[in-house]
Amino acid sequence: MTEGGKLIIFSAPSGSGKTTIVKHLLNQPELNLAFSISATSRPRRGKEKNGINYYFMSVSQFKRHIKDGDFLEWEEVYRDNFYGTLKSEVERLWSEGKNVIFDIDVSGGLRIKKKFPEKTLAVFVKPPSVDELKIRLKKRSTESDDKINMRIAKASVELATAPQFDKIIKNYDLPVALDEAHKLVAEFLGVEIPPKEN
């Protein structure tokens, strides 16, 4: 892969608020970020669009990309439910002169960090508690209780990996977490945050 900008990883258990934080950072022009769209073999949900939310593919297509070595990282999160980052996606964003931001699961985040240790900032977003996570996931009402329980079980395992990340942000109070994430990323990229307009 050709070398390009920096890589910013946000990982966390489902419902921790990492997606909200990533969206906030993408709206900060001085950070010059572009979002890395993941590939997945899971079915679309609701209004999701191919090439915007995810690159949707069948299980066999996904497996072919694995065989061809097209992924920077990939994982079978649940049976036949694959997620991964295509090398071509990162190269596309680097060729546009952007720093790439990821909203990916914990093991994928750590794999990218391992491949590009000097270029990567890996941030773990910590929810207030597993109970709070359960409440947030239920509020979303996008998944069955079984699926929520699977995510909660996975969350306990994921929380144990937090110390392997460069930084941990506690998302107990969203505005504070957004501010902290903005400062962290700006510092890593060596850019000034413009003063807030009153």
- pLDDT, tens only, 174-186: 999 999 999 999 9
- pLDDT, tens only, 94-123: 999 999 999 998 999 999 999 999 999 999
Residue 198 has pLDDT above 80, yes or no: no
- pLDDT, tens only, 119-146: 999 999 998 888 888 888 888 777 788 8
Backbone φ, ψ for residue 49 (5° rounding): -120, 140
Domain locations along the chain: 7-189
Distance (Å, whole) CA 170 – CA 151: 19
* CA triple 101-107-111, angle to 5 deg: 70
Distance (Å, whole) CA 156 – CA 36: 26
Least confident of 3-7, 48-52, 71-75: 3-7
pTM of this structure: 0.88
- The mean pLDDT value of the chain amounts to 92
DSSP state string for 117-156: TTTEEEEEEEPS-HHHHHHHHHHH--S-HHHHHHHHHHHH
Tell me, which fold does domain 7-189 have in CATH? Rossmann fold (3.40.50)
Quick one: average pLDDT of 22-32?
Answer: 97
Q: What are the binding residues?
A: 12-19
Q: What are the binding residues for ATP?
A: 12-19
Q: Measuring CA to CA, which residue among 171, 124, 129 is closest to residue 152?
A: 129
Q: DSSP letter at 158? A: H
Q: In this predicted structure, what is the pLDDT of residue 90?
A: 96
Distance (Å, whole) CA 164 – CA 193: 27
